[in-house]
Amino acid sequence: MKREQKTDNDIKRIMKGRAARTLAAAVSVFLCILTLFEYTALRMEWDVPALAVISGGDGFWSGVYQKEELAFDDSTENILLGDEGETPEDGNRQRDDVTQGGAEASDAGKAQDGGTGAETSDVGRAQDGGTGADTREEKMSEGTEADSGTGENAQESDAPQDGKEASDVGETKEELEFPYYIRINRRQNCITVYTPDEDGEYTVPYKAMICSTGLYNATPRGTYQISTKYLWRELYGGVYGQYATRIHGGVLFHSVPYYSRSKNSLCTDKYNKLGQQASMGCVRLTVEDAKWIAENCPEGTTVEIYDDDDPGPLGKPEAMKIDSDNPNRGWDPTDPDEDNPWHEASQDE
């Protein structure tokens, strides 16, 4: 009897352990399938709202995506953009031109000064000595008066104006180093740009933009400072973005992707998703808005990414939808390029 009871207890214990292992195995399989599905959905840009809830506040794949995106930093397809809206090559070329122009001007000035000096000397010798002396005295007298006046004016201009101390002027210049503060509402997929108020706080709404943040919260929340800028940048998936500006790691502002590094190869279906989560983590914009950020917000400008049901004080702008049959569909309608056929279409209307 005791032996039978012991056997029953052993069987129950084994079954409990087997059930626990079976349950653990089932949960593991489910999580693997869910992870694979989320990975596939992100890569294929499928919009499955339930996955955003499962992913939580900051998407599971955000770190993985950033590593993959960072791998394209060294791509030979990238074209860097400076804070002045020029590529480094253009900047160097302009500086070389200025240097050469300055040297030529200096040589011309020396030659001219030499010739003028010789001619003046010859004229002076030909004139009467007394007259020459009087002329020199008059010029010296006029020069002294002019120098005296200039000195007084210089002292006056150096003095603080409007009662501002020199320290105040320095602080104002420092405040203007970063004229804008960018807030990205991840939930509403829109951006509000702020400028400083009288106290130097970024409370004055200046500009609103529509955007697409990362699917399943792949765009990480937080506060960052922008850095590297690109005129063109190769992106994950074999596509390209215009006016890319790094927010943090592999997360960038950039235009809606293009199939090639050509302005007439826009991914129209991705453009039509502006205003909803659609990317793998980057913040997609119209060309007009991406260009504005790249050219007006210097490196070090603060970007805050947050969630809120309220789109912001300026609301959420709308982007036009591009018909797949439209002959201009390869172009971003906001691209200011003079060859953009959308400009002619708007003028005809």
Q: What are the extents of the domains in the chain?
A: 2-44, 67-88+174-335
248 and 224 Cβ atoms separated by less than 8 Å: yes
- 329 phi and psi angles, rounded to 5 deg: -60, -20
Question: Which residues, in sequence order, are bridge partners of residue 279?
Answer: 214
Tokens of 71: 């791998």
Cα 243 to Cα 229, 254, 335: the distances in Å are 7, 6, 11
Residue 216 confidence (pLDDT): 83
pLDDT digits (tens, 9 = 90+) for 145-168: 444 444 444 333 344 444 434 444
How confident is the model over 306-335, as a mean pLDDT? 97
- Measured between alpha carbons, how far is 277 from 42 in angstroms, rounded to an integer? 11
Catalytic residues: 254, 282
The tokens for 25 are 């195995």
Average the pLDDT over each of 33-42, 201-210, 247-256, 305-314 and give the range with the smallest value.
33-42
Classify domain 67-88+174-335 at the CATH superfamily level.
L,D-transpeptidase catalytic domain-like (2.40.440.10)
Residue 104: per-residue pLDDT: 45
- Judged by DSSP in three states, 209 sits in strand
The pTM for the full model equals 0.65
For residues 114 and 122, the answer to whether their CB atoms sit within 8 Å is no
Q: What percent of the chain is predicted at pLDDT more than 90?
A: 49
Q: DSSP 3-state assignment of 272?
A: coil
pLDDT tens-place string over residues 215-263:
888 899 999 999 999 999 999 889 999 999 999 999 999 999 999 999 9
> Tokens 């032996």 label which residue?
3
Q: What per-residue confidence (pLDDT) applies to 20?
A: 72
99-123 residue pLDDT tens: 444 444 444 444 444 444 434 444 3
d(CA 289, CA 251): 17
3-state class of 174 per DSSP?
helix
Of 205 and 91, more confident: 205
